[in-house]
Structure formats: C-alpha cells, structure tokens
Structure 1
Amino acid sequence: MDAVRAKIAGRTLTTGDRLPSIRAFAAAMGVSPSTVVDAYDRLAAEGVIHARQGSGFYVATAPPPLALGEIGPRLDRTIDPFWVSRQSLDTGEDVAKPGCGWLPADWMPTASLRRATRRLAKADDTLLTEYGATRGALGLRRLLARQFAGEGLEIGPDQILLTGSGTQAIDLVCRFLLRPGDTVLVDDPCYFNFRALLRAHQVDVVGVPYTPYGPDTERFAEAAAAHRPRLYVTNSALHNPTGATLAPQVAHRVLNIAAAHDMTIVEDDIFADFEPEPSPRLATLDGLSRVVRIGSFSKTLSASIRCGYIASGADWIDALIDLQVATHFSGVSPVAAELVHAALSDGGYRKHIDMLRRRLARARGDTAARLKPLGIVPWLMPRGGFYLWCRLPEGCDAAALAGRALRDGVVLAPGDVFSVSRTAAGYMRFNVAQMAAPAVYPALGRGLADAMHTLPTF
C-alpha cells in the first residue's frame, strides 16, 4: 500500500493510470499474490484506486501537490540542498556567506554593467517591451560561437539556444531527455543544485566517486553497465565543489564509456573563464555528438542578469526551442541578453577576468593559510576558481559545524550537501572570495572547539 501511495505522490502513477497486474506487482515486491490482492482491496476501499471489471485496478485520486522536500530520503536540513540554497539566498547582508556560490558585488564588473545599462536606455522600444526571438539574441549567440571556435568547438550560432539561466538550461535538457524513474549519473561529490534539480525530475541519481583527475573511470564504467543511465551531469573545468581539473585520458575514457552505453553527457562549463589555461572539454572532444554544453554568466558577470545557454547538436535545438516555448514562452529576456552581450563585448571584460584570476589566486592562498591552524586542509589546490574543498579535523562533522556557525551569522556548505552517498561528512566547501567577513574565522574556531569537545575520550 505504501509503495502504491508513493508512486501516486511522486506522479509515477497519476489519475486514470493502470496499476501493475497482481502477479507482476507481487513479483516486483517479493510477496505473494494474495498480499497484493489484499493491498489493492484496501486501497480501493479508501478510494485511492478503483477496479474495472476484467481490466484491473486504476488510480482514482488526484495526486497531491508535488513537494520536492518530500521526494527522496528525509535529510538533516543542514545537508539538504534546498536548505543551503535558501540560507544563501534569503539571509541578509549582515550574514557572512562562505558557503554560497557567487562572488561579492565589489568583485564584479559593475562599471561595465552600468555603461551597458545606460546604452540600453536608448534602445528601440521593441527591445524594451517585446518578447525576444525563440533562439535568443543573434549577436550574443554569434559571440559565443566565436568563443567556442577559439577552443576548437566549431559550431554555428544556430546550434546555440539562449535560456533564462544556467539552471533553466539544464532543466530544459532534463525535461527533453528524462522521464520519472530514469537513472542519471553525477559526480560524488557534485554541485548540490544538480541533486536538487534531479530530485524535481523524479529520477534515480547514482554517484560516481570523483578524483583529482575526474570521475573514477572504473567505477564510472561499472555504474554505466549496472544502471544504464540516460544522462551524466558534470562540471569539467574547475569542478564544483572540488576544484579538480579533468585529465585528457579520463575525458577520453568517459566519452568511450558513454558511447558504449548510449549515454548523453551534460557538461556545465560555467567556470571556464576562471581557468588560467583551458583544460580538456568533453564537448570539444566529442564535437557535441553526445555531449550537451550548458553555461551562464552569473559567476563572472552578474547573477542578477539572468542569462544562460545550451549548445548541442543541430537536431536537438528545434525540439529544445519548442520545449522552452511551452514552458517559458520566451527564454532569455532580450534586455538581459543585450546587457550580457554589451558587457562581454566591452574592452574591459578581459581585464576584469585577468584581475579576478589574480585576486582569486591570492584569496585561495590566504584562505588555505588561515584554515591550516584550525586543522582544515584543502583536498587539492585548484588551478583557478573560488572554491576550496577542504578536509575537517578528524571526527568533526561538517553538518554540526554548519549548524553551529549559522547561530553566529555564518552560512557554510557542509560536504554531504554535495554527496549522493553522504560520505563527505568530514568535508566543507569554502568560497574564498567570501572569507574576508570578520565573523567567519571566529565562528569556525568556536564550531570546531564545540565539535572537539563533544568527541569521546578514551
């Protein structure tokens, strides 16, 4: 009975759907047919299902509203991806946020954005008032195509679809390719909103251990063979949360495994501009044959100006456009696309990126040095970017530390938020650009002292 209710609540079964036959469900549940008969009869008595003579049992009730927090296991809120996202987004400016995923405002190219905004005020009325084209602004798509060509990915602007954000881009791909009950591979650990978004799509998520050189290819091959996943979702450049860089041999092995098991790869390339030198990209090596590239400009330009993109094979773009029209009518705002295009075309953007790389390199070193006396050590020192994935002192639980720090006005990102297998309780992701707030290190010190004090002594 609980299994049927769960399928209805999760919308695997909806009103009017036929339930599995008594014999098939008994075999699937490992019980006798008489047990299933009894369960179906009780559910029918409650009005959840109804019988049709000679046809079987059908769902009778409308499913309850979808509550994402109820899908999957109940988690301690400090390791729930939704909770961490909401704490980062909803807390005020007086709260320090070394657990968040963006740079401080004074690190961003606000002067360039203001210039672009002033120019936009003189634009045609249609740009300011009307929907945009279904593929998004041609000028920005051409600029992206030129950037991709510079790294060896030769595609035209018609193979690029602009979206309302990077998250919307990945959501569209998931809507296009996935059905409830499909399996998706992710890195373990991985970006926590991948987990949150996939939970919303009601798919089975399987984690593959991540190494300093990319996914563990032996475990990746085993998972692909055992689970027949539809998708693999990853960051290749400056992996989130670990900061690792994909090695060429690992990239080729991953592509070969994906081809052998007819698996599509979604490569989130949002951190590309932070790399001092480009590392291997699955999309470039594959030529968008079975890799879909997605990205946005929220990390380097502005999280407020929402604009993302999908780059894929030409045969998928039209279907993705239809899906975007159906779910959002028009994808990216023409105003947002114009602002992004103007800022990226501004002669100061490249200088801004160079400045960010230098500033972040100093911040990574400073943060590692200040964490060391606390017994917090980076798993590796990344080539770029703003994350440090760190080991906590032996026996310290990251979720407990995050809960303690929140009372001191500090939002942290504990390791198990990123881990499908929940094997990262001893890790924490730190945003080095957000570590300068005065409250951060005292809160860490108090939290660690509390954690060590509660450890058993022998």
Structure 2
Amino acid sequence: MSKAAGTRVDAVMDAVRAGINARAYTPGMRLPSVRAQAKTMRLSVSTVVEAYERLAAEGAITSRPGSGFYVAGPVRPLALAAIEPRLEREVDPLWLSRQSLERDASTLKPGCGWLPPDWMHEAGVRRALRAMARADSALLTEYATPLGHPGLRQLLARRMAANGMDAHPEQIMLAESGTQAIDLICRFLLEPGDTVLVDDPCYFNFHSLLRAHRVNVAGVPYTPNGPDVDAFARALQQHSPRLYITNSGIHNPTGATLSPVTAHRLLKAADGTDLIIVEDDIFADFETHPSARLAAFDGLSRVIHIGSFSKTVSASVRCGYIAGRADWIDALADLKIATSFGGGRLAADILLTALTDSSYRKHMEAVRTKLAEARERTAARLSKIGITPWLVPQAGMFLWCRLPQGADAAAVARACLNDGVVLAPGNAFSQSLTAGDFLRFNVAQCGDDKIFKALARALAA
C-alpha cells in the first residue's frame, strides 16, 4: 500500500476512534456503511473497508456478516478534546485554559481572563479570613443550606435591584462557581442532541462545557451593540434551540455592551419559542455605567441570571450564584444536592464579608481607573505593530484585536509561546472558526515589554 493510501486509511480510523471517544458512537451502535463512510469522506470503498478491518483487528469494532460493523466494548471515558471540531492545540479551548492555569509565574499571560494577583481584593479577603478564624465552629465545619448563605443572597438581590432586576432572595441559589452555575442549568434543561446558541465569538469555556453535555452548538454573530438580532431570529427558526448563553454587561471577548434596543429586539424574537436565556454577569463590577440586562427587561421569566466574583475578589474563593424563577430555583437546589450535596459555607461567608467591607467600593474604583489606563496604553502599543482593536470598550479588561492582513493568530500564538507568552487566538472563541486573524488581549496582563517584542517578532516571521 502506498504512503498516500495508508494515510487515507489512517484518516478513516482516526475519525471512527474520535467518534467512539466522544461517545458519538456507543457500544453496539452500527457504524456508517462502508459506502456511506466512503461518500462522506470522499474516499474509495476499498480504503474504508481496509480501515474498518484494521479497527476490527484492534477490537475497537466488530463485523457482523450481512449486517455491517458495530462498536465493541464498554462505553469509553468521555474525552472532551476528541469531540469535534478538531482544532490546532493553540486554539483549542481546553488546551488554552491549561496553558494559562499550569504555567508558572515567569510566563506572561496576556491571553488569560483574570486580573494579576495584586489587582484583586486581597486585603479584603485577608480581613475576611481573620474574621472567619474567630467565627462560630459551625461555620468552619458544617454544610451550607441548599440555597446557600441567606445574607449573601440578600446582598445579591439588592445588587441586582440596582440594575433593574427584581429577584427575591428565595429566587437566588449559590453555586460553587459561575461555571458550576451554568453546568447545573445545562443538567437541568438539556438533553444530548439539543441545540444551544452562543455568541460568535464567545467565552471559549462555554464551548468546552457544552461539549461535555453532548449538545449541538450554533453561533450568532456578535456586533458592537450585542448579538445580530436578524441572525438570532434565523437561528431560532433553523435550530429550535433550547438555550442561548451570553454575557450581559461587558462581553467576553469583545468588550462590547448590550444596547437596550438590541435587548428588546432579542427578547421579542424569542417570544413564542421555548428558548431559555442564560445571562452571565460576571463582569458587572467592572462597568462604569450599567448597561442593559436581559433579566431586567424579562423579569426572570425566560432569562436565568448568573454570576460570580472570581474576577474582582478572588478566584481562589469559589462562589457563584443563579437567579431565576422560583420553581426553577427549587428544582435546581435538588439537583445541586444530588451533584454536590450541601456545598461549602466558608467561601460564601468570606465573600460576603469582603463585599461588604468598606474598602471594596474604593478597591473597584481603583481597578476601573487602572483598567482604563491599561486599555489606552495597550491599544497604543499594539497599534505600533499593526494590531487594531475591533472596538474601543467602555470598560473591562479585554481588547478584541485584528492582526495585520495575512497574519494567522494560531501561528502567532505558537511563536509567542516559545517566548514564554500565552496568547488567546480568535478561533478559540469562534464557533464558526471565522476569527483566525483575531487575538484577545487582557490589558491588565500586558504591562511587560517582552509581550510586544514577542508579538513583533512573530508578525515579522
């Protein structure tokens, strides 16, 4: 067999293995016929037959004469990285997250999504920890109630009311993090094979989380004023999605804000459908002027509002929240017990103490000022090497930037990684993979000259 023919056989085998690893093909399931597989992959029937026979020899599949080929063995452990689309390592969301989390302090991380340690509310957390050390023993040893700390839920209700959202504390449930909040909602509302809409681009971990729930994902183009409402309406017609997951306030990665007109049009388009909207408000405290919230216009009818304080207080103190219809919160509390039992009390108490500390407001004022200065400074330095922002955000830590014509973000990220710089290429955020010439920059992590020197070298190459 020629090298080219062998490569084609390997491609068929890899495709089948990926389907088994991702549980698209489960034990006992009949594989596509050799003719159907050949047509799909534009290969000869003999190539597919050879690949299937080799997989059968490995024990991955079995042949049933006159019937076809079937998946053998027990269900494989879920391998998220094996689920389509197959991406270059530099733009795979899981790989990118691991690079940002695992690299040591010497690595520069302009592609990460959090503030430097000395920008966080460390002083407030330390004061809260000292207070916890003197607290009643139950706080340090007992499970939390199903909905979570009543005082923190009351504070969250007041904070939401300031942005026009009417939520009673009984409509709010604490979670271990914002990510766990979305995971619980997905467990509550989704079945494998359902369709979920996301912004294109969107926070890349939405893609990874939705893979784990084995749902179909469709992207809606994002504009400077929010999602493209016409494209959103077409997606509703075409896909009959169960969920739409988006950022309210400051959008990740673009830094855009949702306009009131777009919010109204989006909710009107969703009328008469079964769509439920999950609104992630994790960047609320970075705003200088509150933007539109879908939950405010909707009254928490079809919108579920979530958030956390891992971006402003501490990523180590894990605590998020879910606000929604009372009957849904009641059911989600049962699901939370089933998956994590009572949850922790300590993190919620630390967070409540830190948020109600008199210094938190001044801390965030200082952070917003530093971010404004960093956005201006970073944009100017990027422009000198031909990298331009898609828009100039009103607030927040992100600049969504287009590279010079002909530059490939994955190649730039690969080159910069060799220089100890972790970047965030655009296609990690794009469901349609149409952001290959974009990078997301965290301006709070862009203070080192080495970042811009590495970028200049990569673009020159």
Aligned-partner Cα distance in 1 for 2:309–2:416: 30
Residue in 2 that maps onto 1:281: 293
Match of 1:260, SS state, is coil
In 2, the alpha carbon distance for the partners of 1:59 and 1:301 equals 49
> What's the TM-score once normalised by structure 1's chain length?
0.88
SS at match of 2:384: helix
Deviation at 1:49, TM superposition (A): 7.7
Matched, 1:409 2:420: yes
Q: Does 1:438 align with 2:449?
A: yes
- Give the alignment partner of residue 93 of structure 1, picking from 105, 108, 114: 105
Paired residue type of 1:447: A
Shift of 1:11: 3.8
* Counterpart in the other structure of 1:155: 167
Q: Secondary structure at the match of 1:62?
A: coil
Match of 2:324 in 1: 312
Do residues 108 (structure 1) and 126 (structure 2) align? no
Question: Structure 2 matches for 1:221-236, cutoff 5 A?
Answer: 221-236=233-248
> What does the per-residue CA deviation read over 1:358-400, in whole Å, with 9 as the maximum and x for residues that have no partner?
1111110011111111011111111100000011111111110
Gaps of at least 5 residues in structure 1 are 30-37, 52-56, 451-458
Inter-partner Cα distance in structure 1 for 2:70 and 2:274: 34
Give the secondary structure class of the aligned counterpart of 2:449: coil
Q: Does 1:343 align with 2:354?
A: yes
C-alpha spacing 1:424/1:47, structure 2 compared with 1 (3 Å)? closer
Deviations 1:21-73 (A, max 9, x none): x9xx99xx9xxxxxxxx9xx99999795899xxxxx99873211111110112
Q: Which residue of 2 aligns with 1:207?
A: 219
Structure 1 letter corresponding to 2:440: R
What residue ranges of structure 2 are gaps of 5+ in the alignment?
A: 1-11, 41-48
Q: Does 1:251 align with 2:263?
A: yes
How do 1:15-414 and structure 2 match up within 5 A?
61-331=73-343, 333-414=344-425
Q: Quick one: distance in 1 between partners of 2:168 and 2:367? A: 29
- RMSD over aligned Cα atoms: 2.8
CA contact 1:49–1:61 (8 Å) conserved in 2? no
Contact 2:224 2:391 (C-alpha < 8 Å) held by counterparts:
yes
CA distance in 1 between partners of 2:264 and 2:229 (Å)? 10
Indicate if the aligned counterparts of 2:149 and 2:348 stay in contact, CA closer than 8 A: yes
Is the contact made by 1:409 and 1:439 (CA closer than 8 Å) also made in structure 2?
A: no
Choose which of 410, 418, 431 in structure 2 pairs with 1:420: 431
Q: Structure 1 residue 330: deviation in Å? A: 2.4
Q: Which segments of structure 1 move beyond 6 Å, counting only runs of 4 or more?
A: 1-7, 17-20, 41-47, 57-60
Distance apart, 1:439 and its partner CA: 1.7
Classify 1:132/1:407 alpha carbon distance in 2 versus 1 (closer, same or farther; 3 Å). same
Distance 1:145 1:48, change over 3 A: same
| SS at 1:374 equivalent | coil
Letter in 1 for 2:357: D
Q: Structure 2: how far apart are the matches of 1:295 and 1:261?
A: 25
- Kindly provide the amino acid, as one letter, of the partner of residue 429 in structure 1: R
Q: Assess if the C-alpha contact under 8 Å between 2:309 and 2:319 holds in 1.
A: yes
Cα distance change on mapping 1:9 and 1:370 into 2, 3 Å: closer
Distance 1:398 1:174 in 2: 31
Letter in 1 for 2:439: M
- For the residue of structure 2 that corresponds to 1:255, the secondary structure is helix
- Fraction of identical pairs, as percent: 59
Q: What is the distance in 2 between the residues matched to 1:440 and 1:71?
A: 32
Could you tell me whether the CA contact under 8 Å between 2:19 and 2:25 is conserved in 1?
A: yes
In the TM superposition, what is the alpha-carbon distance from 1:261 to its structure 2 partner? 2.2
Q: Distance in 2 between matches of 1:79 and 1:301?
A: 28
Report the Cα distance in structure 2 between the residues aligned to 1:437 and 1:4, rounded to whole angstroms.
45
Amino acid at match of 1:278: P
Structure 2 counterpart of 1:430, one-letter code: F
**Is this contact kept in 2: 1:258–1:265, CA < 8 A?**
no
Contact persistence 2:19–2:83 (CA under 8 A): no
Question: Aligned to 2:85, what secondary structure does the other structure show?
Answer: coil
Q: Give the length in aligned residue pairs.
A: 434
Amino acid at match of 1:350: R
Distance across 2 between alignment mates of 1:391 and 1:5: 36
Which TM-score applies when normalising by structure 2?
A: 0.88
SS in 1 for 2:219: strand
For 2:7, the equivalent position in structure 1 comes to none
